[in-house]
Amino acid sequence: MYVVRLFVPGWRPGCPGQFALLQREPSAVFLPRAFSLHGQAPDEVSFLISPLGAGTEELVEVETGDVVWVLGPLGRGFPLDSLAPASRGRLVIVAGGAGVAPFPLLIESLATLDAIPPPTVVVLGFRDAIQAECLETFTAPVAALRARGGDVRLDVICEDGSLGRVGMVTDLLADELRSGDVVAACGAQAMCEAVWQICRQRACPAWFSLEAGMACGVGSCQGCVISMADGSLARVCREGPVFAGEAAFGGRGHPCAAPRSRA
């Protein structure tokens, strides 16, 4: 995974969980790709990008002076008010692989809240230690939150055991989560559904940043819809990308479910 920092004069800062569409100019692909906002500074925004195909490969290869098309910030991010509850419950952040992308910004935002930040536990799952190198992007936000008196703990697990425990992020979550916690999660569909099952068992409200193939990012094309628990369809780009677990998954799914596939 690569952090791609872009100079965007006049960038209107977005909320954690919002996203932008990016495409290198010129590009070998037709559509831009959607990425969670990962970091922001005046006139600057950064993204955590895994090279998975032509569109992402050309983005991680950009060099100083290259031009990137940026459309954003877009969509609805994490509801900060709900994640920092007055009840002093903990915030548990759960992410797998590239799903860590929105959370440095979320932690940074908690540090700027007027209210005292909630005790925060961050559980992260990676394939291996190489993928886990993106952990360093948490260092500054976590320090900022601690400087505000926030109590933050980070726990990591790797599928191959090359860093931290051996296993999946849901193993960490199952040990960690208790009633009264609030969860913010991002990762593969199967991970999100498994996380939701654990949250449901312990009656913890949870918010998920979900993804879908996208064309416009603003609601025009209606191409990125996913089916909600009540059978309705929601545009990931407009109604999401952050959805309440109850709305997105409800009583569906199974801790071991594969990504939903069509018959």
Partner 1 sequence: MTAPKELIVDLTVNLGPLRLAHPLINASGTLDLFDAAESLDPTMLVEPPVAAYVPKTVTLQPRGGNEPPRILETAGGMLNSIGLPNRGIESFVEEDLPRLLALPCPLILSVGGFGAEEYGQLAARLRRALDALQPGWVTRIGLELNVSCPNVHSGCISIGTDPAETRAAVAGARGAWPGLLVVKLTPNIGDIVPVARAAVEAGAGALALVNTFKGLALDRVTLRPFLGGVTGGLSGPAIKPLALRFVHEVAQEIDVPLVGMGGVASVRDVLDFLACGATVVAVGAAGFRDPWLPARLATELAAELRGRGWSLRDVVGRAHR
Note whether 26 binds partner 1 by CB under 8 A: no
Q: Where are the alpha helices (DSSP H) in 41-122?
A: 54-60, 80-83, 103-111
Note whether 218 binds partner 1 by CB under 8 A: yes
**Cβ partners under 8 Å of residue 199, min gap 6:** 177, 183, 205, 206, 245
- Taking the complex as a whole, the smallest distance from the CB of residue 218 to partner 1 amounts, in Å, to 4
Q: Hey, what are 120's tokens?
A: 């925060």
Residue 240 to residue 225: CA distance in whole angstroms: 10
Judged by CB under 8 A, which of 166, 178, 220, 254 binds partner 1? 220
Minimum CB distance to partner 1 smaller for 114 or for 230 = 230
Minimum CB distance to partner 1 smaller for 82 or for 232 = 232
- Taking the complex as a whole, the smallest distance from the CB of residue 130 to partner 1 amounts, in Å, to 24
Residue 178 to residue 40: CA distance in whole angstroms: 32
Minimum CB distance to partner 1 smaller for 4 or for 22 = 22
Minimum CB distance to partner 1 smaller for 112 or for 227 = 227
What is the CB neighbour count within 10 angstroms for residue 204?
22
- Taking the complex as a whole, the smallest distance from the CB of residue 48 to partner 1 amounts, in Å, to 21
Note whether 29 binds partner 1 by CB under 8 A: yes
Note whether 23 binds partner 1 by CB under 8 A: yes
Q: Hey, what are 78's tokens?
A: 């994490």
Minimum CB distance to partner 1 smaller for 177 or for 228 = 228
Residue 119 to residue 90: CA distance in whole angstroms: 5
Note whether 188 binds partner 1 by CB under 8 A: no
Judged by CB under 8 A, which of 8, 31, 140, 168 binds partner 1? 31
Minimum CB distance to partner 1 smaller for 143 or for 221 = 221
Q: Read out DSSP for 110-157?
A: HHT-SSPPPPEEEEEEESSTTGGGGGGGGHHHHHHHHHTT--EEEEEE
Minimum CB distance to partner 1 smaller for 90 or for 235 = 235
Minimum CB distance to partner 1 smaller for 203 or for 262 = 262
**Residues contacting partner 1: total by CB under 8 A:** 31
What secondary structure, in 3-state letters, does 175-200 show? HHCCCCCEEEEECCHHHHHHHHHHHH
Q: Which residues ranging from 74 to 103 are in contact with partner 1 (CB under 8 A)?
A: 74
Q: Hey, what are 234's tokens?
A: 């929601």
Judged by CB under 8 A, which of 64, 87, 179, 261 binds partner 1? 261
Q: Which stretch binds partner 1 (CB under 8 A): 109-117, 130-138, 144-152, 223-231?
A: 223-231
SS3 173: helix
Structure-token match 């959607």, residue found: 34
Judged by the rule CB under 8 A, the positions of this chain that interact with partner 1 are 21, 23, 29-32, 55, 69, 71, 74, 212-227, 232-233, 238, 261-262
